[in-house]
């Protein structure tokens, strides 16, 4: 007999953390959004800034062992003329269009467990109209679980910004520089020639002390250009500032976070903020001083990151968990499709609503 429990907010999620870590450790494929540390940082940020509370719907086995976590936020959404009460899979503090997942015991993902979970939610929670699994990659636990839910009304649409996530492989036998185009290699050489080599230095922070020391430089550089002007940099957006600090607090002690700084004549001109557990280097934030844009400092700092990794072998994959045009220059060699799944109640009313929403979505796609 399984038990479903709801954990709300930072304090309750902290109590769940030991069991969540044990569950994550069972996963063969895990990413930053499978770790409770990500959600502790998120829960704190949401509460600090009076944003929609983070909730975690959990499932425990008959031996009181945690077997599934569904981190979510309850939102009112509008699809065409239809307002819906949605339980949305959590992303980050701004609900960015990026990858996310549920955390589920590997032996359950390939069963009808998730279908049973949705039926339970339909029977015990009368409020929701749709469970929105946004940003699920094709190899995710959520995508796997949905393949075993033949009785659920589900709508699938492309997710993320461009419907795909791009990766650069850096593991043994993979040479990311060999894949680069001749034109881009020449662009990198030209960028280097625009700078006096003796004036270029790089620094990496991995320990909590070093991360705290380099964070102000990261914030300043990221805010020096268009992000600062638009108010989207961490220095100008208070919730983002809080979230970064919380990520350092929760991932830093285990070595799961890095800040890279490129300096020219002792002045920081480019920075990277990375989340790095599970041998994946997630480019969470990047910034550069636009007065040096002709020297492409954003690309040079990534080049240095890859060169350093060729020696240290600290990660196997580099990704922004998106498909941004600037990253394409690095010739990603692995692409995963990303989808949004809308799961409706397994009732006649839920199926009718799913049909209506699907029709509206098709119309919006055609008109767009």
Q: Of 106, 103, 152, which is closest to residue 130 (Cα–Cα)?
A: 152
Token pair belonging to 24: 């994550």
At residue 229, the pLDDT reads 85
Tokens 């049973």 correspond to what residue? 116
- Burial of 84 from C-beta contacts in 10 A (0-12 / 13-18 / 19+): middle
- Asked whether the domain spanning 171-315 has the same topology as the one spanning 3-163+337-367, the reply is yes
DSSP characters over 81-111: TEEEEEEEE---TT--SS----EE-HHHHTT
d(CA 251, CA 209): 13
Helix (H, G, I), strand (E, B) or coil at 226: helix
Calculate Rg over the CA atoms of the chain: 22
CATH (residue range 171-315): 3.40.630.30
* Per-residue CA distances from 164 to 98, 99, 135, 179 (Å): 10, 10, 10, 20
Tokens 């998106």 correspond to what residue? 322
At residue 367, the pLDDT reads 64
What pLDDT, in 10s, does the model give residues 312-331?
899 999 999 988 899 999 99
d(CA 131, CA 342): 6
Q: In Å, how far from its chain's centre is CA 359?
A: 30
Beta bridge partners of 77: 84
Q: What are the sequence ranges of the domains in the chain?
A: 3-163+337-367, 171-315
Tokens 């844009």 correspond to what residue? 293
At residue 218, the pLDDT reads 97
At residue 368, the pLDDT reads 56
Phi, psi of 188 (to 5 degrees): -65, -40
Helix (H) or strand (E) holding 242: helix 238-251
Dihedral angle over CA of 212, 44, 28, 319, nearest 10: -60
Tokens 């909730």 correspond to what residue? 55
| pLDDT digit string (tens) for the chain, length 368 residues | 789 999 999 999 999 999 999 999 999 999 999 999 999 999 999 999 999 999 999 999 999 999 999 999 999 999 999 999 999 999 999 999 899 999 999 999 999 999 999 999 999 999 999 999 999 999 999 999 999 999 999 999 999 888 999 999 998 788 999 999 999 999 999 999 999 999 999 999 999 999 999 999 999 999 988 888 888 899 999 999 999 999 999 999 999 999 999 999 999 999 999 999 999 999 999 999 999 999 999 999 999 999 999 998 999 999 999 888 999 999 999 999 999 999 999 999 999 999 999 999 988 776 65
What pLDDT, in 10s, does the model give residues 212-224?
999 999 999 999 8
At residue 173, the pLDDT reads 82
Q: Under a CB-based contact definition with an 8 Å cutoff, are residues 336 and 97 in contact? A: no
Helix (H, G, I), strand (E, B) or coil at 30: coil
CATH 3.40.630 fits 3-163+337-367, yes or no: yes
Q: Under a CB-based contact definition with an 8 Å cutoff, are residues 12 and 53 in contact? A: no
């Amino acid at each position: 007999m399984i038990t479903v429990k709801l954990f709300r907010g930072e304090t309750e999620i902290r109590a769940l953390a030991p069991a969540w870590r044990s569950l994550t450790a069972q996963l063969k494929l895990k990413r930053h959004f499978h770790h409770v540390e990500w959600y502790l940082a998120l829960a704190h940020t949401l509460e600090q800034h009076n944003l929609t509370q983070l909730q975690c719907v959990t499932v425990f086995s008959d031996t009181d062992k945690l077997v599934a976590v569904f981190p979510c936020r309850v939102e009112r959404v509008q699809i065409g003329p239809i307002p819906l009460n949605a339980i949305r899979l959590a992303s980050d503090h701004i609900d960015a269009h990026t990858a996310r997942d549920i955390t589920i015991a590997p032996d359950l993902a390939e069963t009808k467990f998730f279908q049973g979970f949705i039926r339970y939610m339909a029977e015990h929670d009368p409020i929701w109209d749709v469970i929105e699994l946004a940003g699920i990659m094709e190899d995710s636990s959520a995508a796997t679980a949905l393949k075993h839910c033949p009785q659920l009304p589900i709508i699938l649409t492309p997710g993320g910004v461009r419907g795909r996530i791009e990766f650069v492989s850096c593991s043994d036998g993979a040479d990311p520089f060999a894949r680069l185009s001749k034109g881009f290699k020449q662009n990198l050489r030209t960028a280097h020639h625009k700078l006096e080599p003796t004036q270029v230095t790089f620094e990496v922070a991995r320990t909590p002390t070093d991360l705290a020391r380099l964070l102000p430089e990261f914030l300043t550089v990221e805010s020096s250009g268009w992000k600062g002007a638009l108010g989207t940099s961490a220095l100008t957006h208070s919730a983002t500032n809080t979230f970064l600090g919380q990520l350092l607090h929760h991932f830093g002690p285990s070595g799961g976070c890095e800040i890279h700084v490129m300096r020219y004549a002792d002045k920081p001109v480019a920075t990277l903020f990375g989340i790095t557990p599970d041998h994946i280097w997630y480019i969470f934030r990047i910034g550069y001083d636009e007065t040096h844009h002709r020297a492409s400092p954003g690309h040079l700092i990534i080049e240095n990151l890859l060169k350093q990794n060729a020696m240290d072998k600290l990660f196997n994959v580099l990704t922004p968990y998106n498909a941004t045009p600037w990253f394409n220059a690095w010739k990603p060699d692995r692409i995963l499709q990303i989808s949004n799944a809308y799961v409706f109640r397994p009732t006649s009313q839920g199926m009718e609503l799913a049909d209506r929403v699907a029709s509206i979505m098709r119309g919006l796609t055609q008109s767009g």
